[in-house]
Amino acid sequence: MTVRAVATGIGHYLPARVVENSEFEKTLDTSDEWIRTRSGIERRHFAAEGETTSQMAVHAAKAALAMAELRPDDIDAVIVATSTPDLTFPSVGTMVQAGLGMTRGFAYDVQAVCAGFIYALANANGMILSGQAERVLVIGAETFSRIMDWEDRSTCVLFGDGAGALVLEARTGSGHSDDRGILSVDLNSDGQYRDMLYVDGGVSTSGTAGKLRMQGNPLFRQAVEKLAATAHKALEKANLGAESVDWIVPHQANIRIIQGTAKKMGVGMEKVIVTVQDHGNTSAASIPLALSVGVSEGRITPGQLLVAEAIGGGLAWGAVVLRW
């Protein structure tokens, strides 16, 4: 008998304001056509003035709890993946705790940029397998619109805001790959790639939040290679092959990265959840958003095998194999 961290609820929140590619044509030397063909993005949501990462996270968490039929106080731990917290501290996790009215348990943030949700899932899985928690709320929530340089056409057209939340609960499994729940995790980082994607401000340097800087093309080339490798490694750890995959739920940065990774993995695009056209790159929120959309559309169903994979600043990357 093995303990497994099983998904029992998923939900998401997108801010009301939708910005179509054509809006950028008014202020930048860019076009809807360039953004669509180079990235696959058609629109994204931006948080309203005063709307924060923790507020969006609370909305998503409530939806996930409703699906899991749990009350906030049933939750033992809240783990929030974000690089755009409301404040330097306290954590968004504790703000979510307060926002939900939770009076017990513990909460914290993890920061692995666009790979954040994968790292948070790994954390939650560890908490459940070690008996620290039985029910964990895992959230990815971001307001990347706050760290955009609106004069840099090579970055500001690519990102969006949003939040997704997943409830994981301890369940007994057989220890085999037909169990529901998280079956394997593969995490990687390499700090020598720091300059490929970073924010040029911070507490101990500029004392400001800073703006996002990216070398898009070299990053693109790293991404496909590393994402396919980590997905393969995670599948191998679960004693499974690519033929067992029902859905790839990828980080949604660029449709060409998503397609390149699926091809390298030997999985057809009909088995990939794609939301990049509607959300843009929402960093740590992108995988739970895609998961939530996939479930709400009835495409992802119980018992199916999912591989989630992501890469981002650090570089940090990884994959999780999970049976829904």
Ligand X SMILES: CC(C)(COP(=O)(O)OP(=O)(O)OC[C@H]1O[C@@H](n2cnc3c(N)ncnc32)[C@H](O)[C@@H]1OP(=O)(O)O)[C@@H](O)C(=O)NCCC(=O)NCCS
Q: Decide whether 108 or 220 has the Cβ nearer to ligand X.
A: 220
For residue 266, the minimal CB distance to ligand X (Å) is 22
Contact 273, 247 (CB under 8 A): yes
Choose which of 67, 157, 212, 287 interacts with ligand X (CB under 6 A). Answer: 157
Q: Which stretch binds ligand X (CB under 6 A): 82-90, 200-208, 217-225, 268-276?
A: 217-225
For residue 313, the minimal CB distance to ligand X (Å) is 7
- Told to check if 108 binds ligand X by CB under 6 A, we report no
For residue 254, the minimal CB distance to ligand X (Å) is 4
CA distance 256 to 217: 12
- Told to check if 261 binds ligand X by CB under 6 A, we report no
Closest CB to ligand X: residue number: 216
- Told to check if 34 binds ligand X by CB under 6 A, we report yes
CA distance 270 to 279: 19
CA distance 175 to 234: 16
Provide the residue type at 220 as one letter.
F
Q: Which stretch binds ligand X (CB under 6 A): 78-86, 160-168, 181-189, 218-226?
A: 218-226
Inter-axis angle of helices 92-100 and 53-68, nearest 10: 50
Q: Decide whether 171 or 213 has the Cβ nearer to ligand X.
A: 213
- Told to check if 38 binds ligand X by CB under 6 A, we report yes
For residue 31, the minimal CB distance to ligand X (Å) is 6
- Told to check if 196 binds ligand X by CB under 6 A, we report no
Residues 271-310 that bind ligand X (CB under 6 A): 281
Q: Decide whether 34 or 108 has the Cβ nearer to ligand X.
A: 34
Choose which of 257, 267, 284, 308 interacts with ligand X (CB under 6 A). Answer: 257
For residue 112, the minimal CB distance to ligand X (Å) is 11
- Told to check if 204 binds ligand X by CB under 6 A, we report no
> From the CB of residue 71, how many other CB atoms can be counted at a distance below 10 Å?
11
For residue 261, the minimal CB distance to ligand X (Å) is 11
- Told to check if 220 binds ligand X by CB under 6 A, we report yes
Active site residues: 114, 251, 281
Question: DSSP E strands: which ranges in the chain?
Answer: 2-13, 17-20, 43-46, 77-81, 106-110, 135-143, 161-173, 181-189, 197-199, 212-214, 247-250, 305-312, 316-323
Residues 6+ apart with CB under 8 A from 254: 38, 39, 40, 41, 158, 220, 223, 276, 281
Structure token pair of residue 156:
């500001």
Q: Left if phi > 0, otherwise alpha if psi is -120 to 50, otherwise beta: which for 239? A: left
Structure token pair of residue 257:
């990265």
Supply the DSSP symbol for 71: -
Q: Which stretch binds ligand X (CB under 6 A): 116-124, 166-174, 210-218, 287-295?
A: 210-218
Dihedrals phi, psi of 313, to nearest 5 degrees: -45, 145
Residue ranges binding ligand X (CB under 6 A): 30, 34-35, 38-39, 114, 153-154, 157, 197, 214, 216-217, 219-220, 223, 253-254, 257, 281, 311-312
